[in-house]
Amino acid sequence: MKRNKKILILSHCILNVNSKVYKLANYEGSLQELVIPLMQKGYGFIQLPCPEMLSHGIKRWGQVKEQYDTPYFRKHIKKLLQPILDQLLDYHKNGYELSGCIGVDGSPTCGVYKTCRAKNWEGEISAINSIETLKALTNSLEEVLEQGLLMEEFQKALKKHDIHLPFFAIDEANPDMSIKIILKELV
């Protein structure tokens, strides 16, 4: 039997970039530079769900953490994570290695070390009636050193079950560097 019992958990868009907000994609389908070496090393993959796609669809606007951080969206994330957690518990109990989780830094949902915030992002887009207002809005966007909502809920749930695994991230601002760092650790 060839299976090596090593599993990596990946954010959905690492395997399917089509789930990202339209215009945000710097690869065609899967992040091959990351995924192929990991496949060749023999890891199996579990793909996390994309909570944004599964609530707001493919025509959604890019949003920040404040906008998604509602009781409803957290409930949605927990519901989506449950079947994944059940699988992980089963693998863990039966001696499989959960080798790590790879998220997406910069995302309000899947950021591991970094996410994005902007205090005044809300309301009706057609009411933005001047370039100055638009500039003020975009200038209020900031990258902050905290997790996105899915990663917060995922790590809480893993902790509750006493499961510990390393977390890595593809940094949307510098994917090449993050791929190098991750491959150095895992391959």
Binding site for ligand SF4 (CB under 6 A): 11-13, 19-20, 50-53, 104, 107, 109-110
Q: How far is the CB of 16 from ligand SF4 (least distance, A)?
A: 8
**99 or 171: whose CB is closer to ligand SF4?**
171
For residues 141 and 64, the answer to whether their CB atoms sit within 8 Å is yes
CB atoms within 10 A of CB 22: 11
Nearer CB in complex with ligand SF4: 87/96: 87
Q: Which is nearer to ligand SF4, 34 or 110 (CB)?
A: 110
Q: How far is CA 145 from CA 95, 100, 105, 179, in A?
A: 34, 20, 9, 19
In the complex with ligand SF4, the residue whose CB is nearer, 90 or 176, is 176
Output the smallest distance, CB 141 to ligand SF4, in A.
16
Please tell me what DSSP assigns to residue 52. T
What distances in angstroms separate CA 149 from CA 12, 40, 69, 156, one per listed residue?
14, 31, 7, 11
Least CB distance to ligand SF4 at residue 182 (A): 15
* Least Cβ distance, residue 174 to ligand SF4 (angstroms): 15
Residue with tokens 């006493």: 162
